[in-house]
Amino acid sequence: MKKILIVEDEKNIILSLEMYLKKKKYDVYVSKNGVDAVKDAQKILPDLIFLDIVLPGMNGYLVCEALKDEDETKEIPIIFISAKSQKEDIKKAYDCGGLDYIIKPFKHCEIQEVLDKYI
């Protein structure tokens, strides 16, 4: 079974993603801050990461950069999910290693498109 790590601190977003992904038969893991996200990704080695930008402790850009700097995690597809919709925010997400960007609030069909594309 494919493993997905959700890095998010908003309960309603976590619940929505978790329910959808479990229904689709993915193993789902959750990290609620950036520091835990890096540790969890190194331990779990997920097949895909959904990553928020605004997080306690360490923002999503720094999490992405940290994961892309490590051999064991650099190939994991990282998909940013954020309410930040400015061009510079989106560009920064791609520049630090993100493969895609979903703007909150999202629809489950957007999540499915990413799943179909990357895993």
Q: What is the pLDDT of residue 66?
A: 98
Q: What is the pLDDT of residue 5?
A: 98
From the list 24, 75, 71, the residue with the least C-alpha distance to 48 is 75
All domains of the chain in start order, with CATH: 3-118 (3.40.50.2300)
Residue with tokens 């790590």: 5
Q: What is the pLDDT of residue 95?
A: 98
Given CA atoms 99, 100, 104, 107 in this order, what sign does their dihedral have? negative
Q: What is the pLDDT of residue 26?
A: 98
Q: What is the pLDDT of residue 100?
A: 98
Low-confidence stretches of the chain (pLDDT < 50) are none
Q: What is the pLDDT of residue 39?
A: 98
55-69 pLDDT, tens per residue? Answer: 999 999 999 999 999
Q: What is the pLDDT of residue 49?
A: 98
83-95 pLDDT, tens per residue? Answer: 999 999 999 999 9
Rounded Cα distance between 31 and 43, Å, is 12
SS3 assignment, position 72: coil
DSSP E strands in 57-97: the ranges are 78-82
Percent of the chain scored above 90 by pLDDT? 100
Q: What is the pLDDT of residue 8?
A: 98
51, β-bridge pairs = 7, 80
Q: What is the pLDDT of residue 50?
A: 98
From the list 35, 53, 63, the residue with the least C-alpha distance to 89 is 53
